[in-house]
């Protein structure tokens, strides 16, 4: 014990007395007071630190506690065509939401709503789940696109439905329906993944949609706008204390496209039930006037969220309505490559007057290559006009693959363009170097022969096909453009000889206008406007020797999937070209029979819409109604199938 | 002291400066409670005002109690409170629930509250009785340690960490000013440093959580750290002059929990800013300084020690609450006396002040005799 009575205490000379004790007391009191003052100083310092130095920080936190923004989704910007005709707009519709905080009797309210709005059991489950996850004042969606009768029924019974909020909202509307589907895409509710990426509370606001495909997706930033908000003061428990000054929303920007909506719709209707694409470009600016891929889904029904049945029907369709063929469909270009070939031949110094005798077949080594007819002695002009393959086999071998590939690239094949489209497949321009890289083998003569008639490894998309027509027509290295307002430098002149271009344009004109050409049926029914072009029929199957011996089978006798692709590239008017057009009809058969008339009618529409419509009317009658009628009928079929599936499910 | 011919002698002899100070703090408290209730004297301000007035009267009446009487009741009072603490514990054991109060029919007695002044008085008495020469000896230490330790343990197991800490701190301060050797306190501080981890392992879950949250309140701003975070937001957002009376959003919108009790200071500072907070701190400082002066001027050792201990009790009350509210100490549930709503804190502080006033009156009267 250090403080034991014997040896404890202070040293002997310092006796602990009352006087000493009082001295200790004063000293200890001084220490205590000092400590108290120090603590007081710390407290004051801390108070000052919090309320002065950190004031701004805490004020911000306090404000974010106090004020909450109830998002008012902005109206999406319109998409209009080059003349201002709407392509994608907003239609006001009715919607019903629930404010969880104000909800009194969840079960009773939902029961009433289910009856009034015809909600399914799944819908009610979804609402219950959302309500559980919801906090405070964030509304939960009950239903959108509510028919007026049901909306009115809810409104009338509002007094007995506290927390239910019938509202007018907006939904996206595409007046042209499927005709613009692959161009503009569609909108939809943001997925969990979208929200993860952006962390924007707007995305989970009921009724808000984002672009899911096409231009709606790629131009999202421009179209979205800024949300407004009803600013409210909320208590910690989410109770509304008072409404503050609202912050107005700002609609998204209107986006003007280079598209001509009328032409777009016409081309889509003209394709009819066939699987294909039509692209029309301005020869001088590269403006895309029509960007059509058919068949297509109805973006209106997609934007409301499509059912499982509709999705399945679309996904199973062999005409691929979900694929944007304009930029994602790749095809052998067939004989449409011949003008391009001729350009390469001329550049290689081959005399256009050089004649090749067509006997219907051509032998290289062990292989025999065929022509569809026996053309006799042909020069370059005639070879284009009549589409003689033998001429191109023979001359192609003389010119060599490299110069052909170079010309193909200059005319836009294999090129990737700066376009606001979700994805582009830019195809293949084969050459010896590519062959080595891809297939590890040497370029062979038959590769040149295949390429000279646009078969084999060469693949293009419809946009590239149309652009080749535009580049030949104008002699400019035009780049495609979809959105007006984007600053694009004027097109550079094409690095080819102008004389060669004139020669090829004349030959292409002869294809349509000489009376001897392959596309004589595609003459424009417009006085003084001549169409020039080139047909193409791309084989998708190998014709065996035995079949050739017994006569090549006609397309009609083959299964749809085995038939030839039908292609056409053209421009008009011949003298001063304005428009270029590329048409590809999958498994359509002869280029001259299917694709060329589509190009003719589409370009006719630009000059005389009535004349073009007159041609279309009997065709649509045969196909079973206009595009709109057929779309409506298909929607009814889908609805019936979905109903049938629904009835089957519970069993 | 106010001297005037008009005012009767007994009234004039009251320590008016102190009473004004205390009444001033209480007024700020009442305004805070009025605001915390959304601009209403119900349910808190009116009740608090009545409680305050009652205890102010009691304190003033206590100022006529003689020092000898206080001295003589020190041990019996301590004993009685200890018995009540044990009773509470037994009652809690019988009802199988934590309990901190005794129901005596018309009111609820919280014996741990009485222990705060009782520990001061009993230790003052003990050290006054101890011969001066024994102060550095073992016998000066162990009885004091026992007097503090037994009630502290009883309160700790209630469980009421805040009050326990205050009783221990009050007792230790008494030992310190009584003159127990300094090295003991240094050794004690070292021991606390060593024992802290052990104590931590014996804590209740909710207490442990509070320690964690004190160390890092932002780690769980919506969960357990919510109190401290929101309190700091309330204080910090007030700025220099505050958001104005009845304009505190943190308290009015219920973001600040316990805005009328433990965190009343945050409610007040949000509306009155640094200015208001400073006023309250300085006012309490003045009250404590008055108490310390009473101690320094006291003629007897008992009075010296008792006055110092009572002042320290008020000091600990205020400073622990403020540190807690401003995020400098863990949330231990100690209210700000006279400002926070609740009778027990008012009662304890007013009892302490009543005793201090009594001691002060004796100095004046005795010094006249000298």
Taking an 8 Å cut-off on Cβ atoms, the answer to whether B328 and A8 are in contact is no
DSSP A119: -
B273: which chain A residues are within 8 Å (Cβ-Cβ)? Answer: 51
At residue A63, the pLDDT reads: 84
Please report the pLDDT score of residue A232 as a whole number.
77
Residue B60 has a pLDDT of 93
**Which of B142, B189, B236, B294 to mutate to test binding with chain A, by most A CBs within 10 Å of its CB?**
B236
Average pLDDT, chain A: 86
**B133 vs A52: CB contact, 8 Å cut-off?**
no
Q: Name every chain B residue with its beta carbon within 8 A of the beta carbon of A24.
A: 135, 179
Alpha-carbon span A478 to A287, nearest angstrom = 9
Chain B residue with Cα closest to A14: B133
Q: Are the Cβ atoms of B239 and A55 closer than 8 angstroms?
A: yes
Enumerate the β-bridge partners of residue A70. Answer: A230
Residues of B in contact with A29 (CB under 8 A): 177, 292, 295-296, 308
pLDDT at residue A486 tops 80: no
pLDDT band at residue A544 under the 50/70/90 scheme: confident
Residues 17 through 36 of chain A touching chain B, CB cutoff 8 Å: 17-18, 20-21, 24-26, 28-29, 31-33, 36
Q: Which among B234, B238, B285 is the nearest to A40, CB-wise? A: B285
Q: Do A65 and B179 touch (CB under 8 A)?
A: no
Q: pLDDT band for position A643 (50/70/90)? A: confident
Answer whether A268's CB lies under 8 Å from A178's CB: yes
Burial class of residue A153 (count of CB atoms within 10 Å of its CB; 0-12, 13-18, 19+): middle
What percent of chain A has a predicted confidence (pLDDT) above 90?
A: 43
Contact assessment for residue A251 and residue A76, using Cβ atoms and an 8 Å cutoff: yes
Residue B278 with chain A: CB contacts under 8 Å: 44, 47
Omega before residue A281 within 30° of 0, cis: no
**Cα separation of A145 and A117, whole Å?**
11
CA distance A634 to A309: 12
- Quick one: pLDDT at residue B368? 45
Q: How many helices (H) and strands (E) does chain A have?
A: 25, 21
pLDDT at A12 over 80: no
pLDDT at B96: 60
ipTM: 0.92
**Which DSSP state fits A352?**
T
For residue A583, pLDDT beyond 90: yes
C-beta atoms of B136 and A15 within 8 A = no
Query: What is the percentage of chain A residues whose pLDDT exceeds 70?
Result: 96
pLDDT of residue B57: 94
- Please write the tens of the pLDDT for every residue from A142-195: 888 888 888 888 888 888 888 888 888 888 899 998 999 999 999 888 887 888
One-letter-per-residue 3-state SS of A54-72:
CHHHHHHHHHHHHEEEEEE
- pLDDT, one tens digit for every residue, chain B (370 residues): 455 567 777 777 788 899 999 999 999 999 999 999 988 888 899 999 999 999 999 999 999 999 999 999 999 999 999 999 998 888 877 666 666 777 665 566 788 889 999 999 999 999 999 988 888 888 889 999 999 999 999 988 887 888 899 999 999 999 999 988 888 899 988 988 888 888 878 877 777 777 776 666 666 666 657 888 889 999 999 999 999 898 888 888 888 888 888 999 999 999 999 999 999 999 999 999 999 999 999 989 999 999 999 999 999 999 999 999 998 887 888 899 999 998 888 999 999 999 999 999 888 876 544 3
Contact state of B273 with A51 under an 8 Å Cβ cutoff? yes
Whether residue B255 and residue A65 make contact (CB cut-off 8 A), yes or no, is yes
What are the phi and psi torsion angles at B295 (to 5°)? -65, -45
Which pLDDT belongs to residue A366?
84
pLDDT band at residue A137 using 50, 70 and 90 as cut-offs: low
In this predicted structure, the answer to whether residue A526 has a pLDDT above a threshold of 60 is yes
Q: Which residues pair with A96 in a beta bridge?
A: A143, A166
Q: How confident is the model at residue A568 (pLDDT cuts 50, 70, 90)?
A: very high
A293, A301, A303, A335: the active-site residue: A335
User: For A521-557, b where at least 16 C-beta lie within 10 A, e where not — what string?
Assistant: ebbbebeebebbbbbbbbeeeeeeeeeeeeeeeebee
pLDDT-based confidence at residue A3 (cuts at 50, 70, 90): very low
Chain A residues 222-241 within an 8 A CB cutoff of chain B: 233-237, 241
User: In A, which residues are within 8 Å of B288 by CB distance?
Assistant: 36
B130: closest CA of chain A, how far (Å): 11
A363-394, pLDDT tens digit by residue? 888 888 888 888 899 999 999 999 999 999 99
Does A335 participate in catalysis according to the annotation? Answer: yes
Work out the minimum CA distance from B18 to partner chain A, whole angstroms.
18
Confidence of residue A36 (pLDDT cuts 50, 70, 90): very high
| Residue B108 Cα, gap to closest chain A Cα (Å) | 32
Give the one of A43, A50, A63 whose C-beta lies nearest to B281's C-beta.
Answer: A43
Cα–Cα distance measured from residue A515 to residue A519, given in angstroms and rounded to the nearest whole number: 8
Q: When comparing pLDDT for A230 and A626, which is higher? A: A626
- Chain B: give the shortest CA distance to residue A19, in Å: 9
Q: Mean pLDDT over residues A284-304, rounded?
A: 89
Position with higher pLDDT, A124 vs A408: A408
What pTM, to 2 d.p., does this model score?
Answer: 0.66
Closest-CA distance of chain A to residue B169, Å: 12
Residue B173 with chain A: CB contacts under 8 Å: 32
Q: Delimit the domains of chain A by residue range.
A: 68-256, 261-631
Write down the pLDDT at residue A627.
87
- Give the pLDDT confidence score for residue B98 in this predicted structure: 61
* CATH of range A68-256; options 3.40.605.10, 3.90.1310.10, 3.10.50.40, 2.40.50.100: 3.90.1310.10
Q: Quote the tokens at residue A212.
A: 């899911």
Predicted confidence (pLDDT) at residue A7 exceeds the cutoff of 60:
no
Minimal-distance CA residue of chain A relative to B324: A43
Q: List, for residues A110-135, the tens digit of each pLDDT value.
A: 888 888 888 888 788 888 888 887 76
Q: Which CATH number is associated with domain A261-631?
A: 3.40.710.10
- Quick: pLDDT tens for A443-459: 998 899 999 999 989 99
CA A339 to each of CA A162, A472, A521: distance values in angstroms, whole numbers, following the listed order: 72, 9, 19
Tell if the CB–CB gap between B326 and A50 is shorter than 8 Å. yes
Is the C-alpha dihedral spanning B24, B26, B29, B33 positive or negative? negative
What pLDDT does residue A289 have? 94
Among A5, A21, A26, whose Cβ lies nearest the Cβ of B137?
A5
Tell me which residue in A24, A25, A50 faces B232 most closely, judged by beta carbons. Answer: A50
Task: Give me the residues of A, 53-72, that contact B with CB < 8 A.
Answer: 54-55, 57-59, 61-63, 65-66
């Amino acid at each position: 014990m250090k403080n034991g009575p014997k040896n404890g205490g202070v040293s002997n000379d310092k006796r602990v007395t009352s006087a000493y004790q009082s001295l200790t007391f004063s000293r200890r009191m001084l220490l205590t007071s000092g400590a108290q003052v120090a603590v007081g100083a710390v407290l004051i310092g801390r108070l000052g630190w919090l309320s002065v130095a950190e004031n701004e920080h805490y004020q911000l936190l306090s404000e974010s506690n106090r004020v909450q923004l109830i998002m008012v989704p902005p109206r999406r910007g319109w998409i209009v065509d080059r003349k201002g005709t709407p392509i994608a707009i907003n239609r006001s519709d009715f919607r019903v939401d629930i404010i969880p905080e104000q909800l009194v009797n969840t079960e009773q309210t939902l029961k009433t709503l289910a009856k009034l709005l015809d909600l399914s059991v799944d819908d009610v489950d979804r609402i219950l789940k959302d309500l559980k996850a919801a906090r405070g004042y964030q509304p939960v969606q009950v239903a959108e696109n509510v028919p007026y009768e049901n909306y009115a029924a809810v409104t009338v019974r509002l007094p007995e439905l506290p927390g239910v909020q019938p509202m007018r909202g907006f939904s996206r509307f595409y007046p042209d329906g499927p005709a613009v589907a692959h161009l503009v895409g569609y909108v939809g509710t943001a997925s969990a993944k979208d929200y993860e990426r952006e962390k924007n509370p707007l995305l989970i606001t009921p009724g808000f949609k984002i672009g899911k495909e096409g231009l709606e997706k790629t131009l999202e930033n421009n179209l979205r706008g800024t949300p407004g908000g009803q600013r409210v003061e909320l208590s910690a428990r989410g109770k509304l204390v008072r409404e503050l000054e609202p912050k107005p929303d700002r609609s998204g920007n209107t986006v003007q496209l280079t598209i001509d909506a009328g032409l777009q719709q016409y081309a889509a209707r003209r394709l009819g039930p066939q699987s294909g694409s039509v692209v029309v470009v301005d020869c001088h600016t590269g403006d895309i006037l029509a960007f059509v891929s058919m068949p297509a889904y109805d973006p209106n029904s997609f934007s409301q969220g499509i059912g499982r049945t509709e999705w399945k029907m679309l996904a199973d369709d062999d005409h691929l309505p979900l694929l944007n063929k304009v930029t994602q469909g790749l095809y052998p270009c067939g004989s449409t490559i011949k003008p391009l070939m001729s350009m390469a031949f001329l550049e290689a110094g081959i005399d256009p007057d050089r004649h090749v005798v067509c006997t219907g077949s051509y032998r290289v080594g062990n292989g025999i290559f065929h022509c569809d007819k026996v053309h006799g002695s042909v020069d370059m002009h005639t070879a284009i006009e009549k589409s003689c393959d033998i001429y191109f086999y023979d001359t192609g071998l003389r010119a060599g693959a490299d110069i052909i590939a170079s010309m193909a690239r200059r005319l836009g094949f294999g090129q990737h363009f700066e376009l606001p489209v979700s994805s582009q497949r830019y195809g293949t321009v084969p050459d010896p170097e590519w062959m080595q890289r891809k297939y590890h083998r040497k370029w062979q003569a038959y590769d040149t022969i295949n390429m000279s008639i646009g078969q084999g490894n060469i693949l293009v998309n419809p946009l590239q096909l149309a652009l080749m027509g535009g580049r030949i027509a104008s002699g400019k290295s035009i780049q495609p453009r979809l959105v007006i307002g984007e600053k694009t430098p004027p097109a550079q002149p094409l690095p080819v000889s102008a004389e060669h271009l004139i020669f090829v344009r004349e030959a292409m004109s002869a294809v349509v206008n000489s009376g001897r050409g392959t596309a004589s049926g595609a003459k424009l029914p417009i006085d003084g406007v001549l169409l020039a072009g080139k047909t193409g029929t791309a084989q998708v199957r190998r014709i065996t020797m035995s079949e050739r011996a017994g006569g090549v089978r006609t397309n009609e006798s083959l299964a749809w999937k085995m038939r030839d692709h039908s292609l056409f590239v053209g421009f008009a008017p011949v003298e001063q070209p304005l428009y270029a057009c590329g048409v590809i009809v999958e498994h359509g058969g002869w280029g001259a029979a299917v694709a060329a008339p589509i190009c003719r009618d589409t370009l006719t529409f630009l000059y005389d819409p009535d004349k073009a419509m007159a041609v279309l009317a009997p065709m649509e009658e045969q196909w079973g109604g206009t595009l709109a009628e057929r779309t409506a009928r298909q929607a009814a079929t889908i609805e019936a199938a979905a109903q049938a599936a629904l009835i089957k499910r519970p069993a | 002291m106010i001297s005037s011919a008009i005012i009767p002698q007994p009234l004039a002899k009251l320590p008016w400066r102190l009473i004004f100070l205390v009444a001033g703090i209480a007024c700020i408290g009442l305004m805070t409670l009025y605001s915390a209730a959304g601009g209403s004297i119900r349910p808190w301000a009116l009740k608090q005002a009545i409680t305050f007035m009652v205890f102010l009267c009691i304190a003033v009446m206590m100022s006529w109690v003689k020092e000898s009487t206080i001295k003589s009741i020190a041990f019996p009072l301590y004993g009685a409170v200890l018995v009540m603490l044990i009773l509470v514990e037994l009652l809690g054991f019988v009802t199988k629930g934590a309990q901190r109060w005794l129901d005596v029919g018309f009111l609820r007695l919280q014996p741990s509250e009485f222990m705060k002044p009782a520990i001061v008085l009993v230790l003052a008495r003990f050290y006054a009785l101890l011969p001066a020469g024994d102060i550095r000896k073992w016998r000066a230490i162990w009885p004091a340690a026992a007097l503090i330790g037994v009630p502290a343990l009883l309160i700790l197991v209630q469980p009421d960490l805040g009050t326990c800490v205050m009783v221990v701190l009050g007792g230790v301060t008494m030992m310190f000013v009584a003159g127990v050797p300094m090295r003991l306190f240094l050794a004690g501080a070292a021991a606390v440093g060593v024992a802290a981890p052990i104590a931590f392992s014996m804590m209740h879950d909710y207490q442990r959580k509070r320690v964690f949250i004190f160390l890092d309140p932002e780690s769980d701003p919506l969960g357990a750290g919510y109190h401290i975070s929101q309190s700091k937001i309330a204080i910090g957002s007030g700025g220099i002059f505050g958001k104005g009376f009845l304009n505190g959003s943190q308290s009015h919108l219920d973001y600040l929990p316990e805005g009328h009790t433990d965190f009343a200071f945050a409610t007040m500072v949000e509306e009155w800013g640094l200015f208001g907070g400073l006023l309250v701190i300085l006012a309490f400082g003045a009250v404590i300084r008055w108490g310390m002066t009473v101690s320094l001027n006291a003629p007897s050792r008992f009075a010296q020690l008792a006055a110092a201990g009572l002042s320290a009790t008020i000091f600990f009350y205020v400073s622990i609450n403020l540190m807690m509210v401003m995020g400098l100490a863990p949330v231990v549930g100690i209210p700000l006396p006279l400002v926070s709503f609740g009778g027990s804190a008012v009662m304890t502080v007013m009892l302490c002040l009543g005793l201090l006033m009594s001691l002060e009156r004796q100095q004046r009267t005795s010094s006249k005799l000298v």
